[in-house]
Amino acid sequence: MSGLLFALTVLTLVIALVGLGWPLSTWMARTYTTAEDWRLERGVYRLLGIDPRSEQRWSNYFRGILAISVLGVVLLYGMQRLQTVLPYSLGLPPVPEGLAFNTAISFVTNTNWQSYSPETTMGYTVQLAGLAVQNFLSATIGIVVAIALIRGLGSRSGTGALGNVWVDMIRTLTRVLIPIAFVSAIVLLATGVIQNFNGFQSITGLAGAPASVPGGPIASQEAIKELGTNGGGFFNVNSAHPFENPTGFSNLFEIVLMLLIPFALTRVFGLMVGDRRQGRAVLAAMVTLYVLFAGFLAAAELAGAGSATAAAGAAMEGKEQRFGILWSTLFGSTSTLTSTGAVNSMHDSYTPLGGMMTMLNMMLGEIAPGGVGTGLYGFLVIAILAVFVAGLMIGRTPSYLGKKVGTREITFASLYLLTTPTVLLAGVGLSFAIPAVAADISSTSIYNPGPHGFSEVLYAFTSAANNNGSAFAGLTANTPWLNAALAAAMWLGRYLPIVFVLALAGSFATQENHGTAEGGLVTHRQQFVLLTVGTVLIVTALTYLPVLALGPLAEGLA
């Protein structure tokens, strides 16, 4: 793709995000502040016995999230194990126990890690009624947690109440995710993404050999997969498959879907706290990080590495010819800077430094702009830490949006920031420290030994702990250890941070708004943007540089 054409399409991407994100953010802010319920919603409230006017403290809010998540794991696991008795099973056998458990945890936690080939493992009922349903619910949970934190910082003062989790979830589904996903599926159909129940079709390939081509309800799942920053593909090669992502336009549209809600939530934040400048400051910091890291990844792949790449003329291994390097790296940056994990090229085939950048994108905490909801609340935790540091430097009581950042608040923020690195590094460490596990990984899971093999395991735990779901494709992860360890990483990486975010929101909600302290850090100006960006870069570098030096850095510098 020529530089001019790429520049024009990126401009189209920006125009689409602004044109769609502005009205969407206005609609979402109204969704979570209005007292008006739709008739459909009132019917669901009566069915479930919900009082929509009752509000919950953070602990009750979390219990609702945990209950729907545990129930989701049980139901999804059961559907996979009972697949043979379900309609449209396509004659496929039950999913093995360990893989079914890993997959259930994966989709409930918005990770969508797939240690299997979906088209040859799961029938249409499991894909539609199991995986796709969890795509909606897991995205909903991320959004409502972000809304709860916004309320704690903004509209709730002195009460400790954060809203009603059931009302927030139902409104998110009925007013945001389902309508947008429905329209998006139609757009994807128009681009050539398929949607049918045809099963496997026998065809004759170009070389004259017979082949079996699967169909499936793909457009409907592809829409929520990208919109909800889920990432689990209908096919093994995900968005590199022409049935999922056939054209340049579908590729651009899927990038728009991944970025739409995470970026729109920054304006929702500004609207709900009553100061749009706050949302613009968060957006500016997210865009800065996005451009910076997407640019680094593109530069690494354009530069190539090694004699083979030089002989080929470009680092095209693992990339689709119809997308080329720039659209592959932009898609890869978007999916790893959000929590989507969808791929239109194989990250395992990237240059060593390019592969490292995809890991770093996730190690940032996926806050540029991050997943639906998770990106915003993750960034706000970073902002609270930056405000605290600034307060220490200037000798003022740190506060954010008129709420003081004291011992309790910074404790919750610190625990949030420590959780993912602890889970990630513990998983990698145990995988190589336990002799039997290390031997199994070396002989069964790792295809390329040495630093690259280490990078494959590091990528897997980075993806799982950050609830991303993408993978270095060279790793065989369907083993007893990795199924269990990655499932634990996904669960802990999802729900421990949510506990700390909601506890933080509850702590802020018990405070009265004291207004902006004189002489304190102004959180809607350039200084705040630079401070938060710098905080992200310093925390990430100090946390992960040693482990990166053992894998992708060692391979790249060699």
Residues 372-414 have pLDDT tens digits of 999 999 999 999 999 999 888 877 888 999 899 999 999 999 9
Distance (Å, whole) CA 411 – CA 403: 15
Q: What is the dihedral of CA 199, 200, 201, 203, to 10 degrees?
A: 160
- Is residue 483 within 8 A of residue 449, CB to CB? The reply is no
Mean pLDDT of 537-555: 93
Q: Decide if 497 is inside a domain.
A: yes
Q: Decide if 253 is inside a domain.
A: yes
Q: How confident is the model at residue 516 (pLDDT cuts 50, 70, 90)?
A: low
Phi-psi label, residue 349: left if phi above 0, alpha if psi -120 to 50, beta otherwise: alpha
Q: Decide if 1 is inside a domain.
A: no
Distance (Å, whole) CA 326 – CA 263: 22
Per the listing, tokens 């065989």 go with 476
pTM comes to 0.95
CA distances (Å), origin 393, targets 383, 396, 516: 15, 8, 17
Q: In the chain, how many domains are there?
A: 2
pLDDT in tens, 412-464: 999 999 999 999 999 999 999 999 999 999 999 998 888 999 999 999 999 99
Q: 71 and 214 share a domain?
A: yes
Q: Say if residue 18 is exposed, middle or buried (CB neighbours under 10 Å; 0-12, 13-18, 19+).
A: exposed
The answer to whether residue 506 scores a pLDDT higher than 90 is yes
Q: 197 and 48 share a domain?
A: yes
Q: What 3-state DSSP class applies to 95? A: coil
Q: Which of 212, 242, 264 is the last residue of a domain?
A: 264
| pLDDT value for 312 | 63
Domain range for 451 is: 372-557
Please indicate whether residue 392 or residue 526 has the higher confidence score (pLDDT): 526
Q: How confident is the model at residue 310 (pLDDT cuts 50, 70, 90)?
A: low
- Is residue 381 within 8 A of residue 416, CB to CB? The reply is yes
Q: How confident is the model at residue 358 (pLDDT cuts 50, 70, 90)?
A: very high
Q: Which of 264, 280, 314 is the last residue of a domain?
A: 264
pLDDT in tens, 204-230: 877 888 888 888 899 999 999 999 999
Percent with pLDDT over 70 in the chain: 97
| pLDDT value for 519 | 58
Distance (Å, whole) CA 72 – CA 109: 10
* C-alpha neighbours within 13 Å on the C-beta side of residue 289: 34
Per the listing, tokens 């949510």 go with 498
403-404 and 399-400 beta bridge pairing: antiparallel
Q: Which of 131-135, 314-318, 380-384 has the lowest mean pLDDT?
A: 314-318
Q: Which of 110-124, 239-253, 309-323 has the lowest mean pLDDT?
A: 309-323
Q: Decide if 334 is inside a domain.
A: no
Mean pLDDT of 15-40: 96
SS (HEC) of 7-60:
HHHHHHHHHHHHHHHHHHHHHHHHHCCCCCCCHHHHHHHHHHCCCCCCCCEHHH
Q: 188 and 61 share a domain?
A: yes
Q: 260 and 376 share a domain?
A: no
Distance (Å, whole) CA 146 – CA 376: 6
| pLDDT value for 198 | 86
Q: Decide if 13 is inside a domain.
A: no
Residue type, 213: V
Mean pLDDT of 41-63: 94
pLDDT in tens, 172-210: 999 999 999 999 999 999 999 999 998 788 888 778 888
| pLDDT value for 207 | 80
Q: Decide if 300 is inside a domain.
A: no
| pLDDT value for 557 | 83
- Is residue 353 within 8 A of residue 300, CB to CB? The reply is yes
Q: Decide if 118 is inside a domain.
A: yes
| pLDDT value for 72 | 97
CA distances (Å), origin 288, targets 292, 330, 368, 529, 530: 6, 15, 8, 9, 9
Q: Which of 264, 290, 319 is the last residue of a domain?
A: 264
As a 3-state breakdown, the chain gives helix, strand, coil percent values, each rounded to 5, of 65, 5, 30
Q: 252 and 380 share a domain?
A: no
| pLDDT value for 270 | 96
Distance (Å, whole) CA 94 – CA 46: 37
Please indicate whether residue 244 or residue 306 has the higher confidence score (pLDDT): 244
Q: How confident is the model at residue 556 (pLDDT cuts 50, 70, 90)?
A: confident
Distance (Å, whole) CA 489 – CA 493: 6
Q: Say if residue 502 is exposed, middle or buried (CB neighbours under 10 Å; 0-12, 13-18, 19+).
A: buried
Q: Alpha carbon 373 to chain centroid distance?
A: 9
Mean pLDDT of 510-521: 75
Percent with pLDDT over 90 in the chain: 79
Q: 236 and 379 share a domain?
A: no
Q: Decide if 281 is inside a domain.
A: no
| pLDDT value for 467 | 95
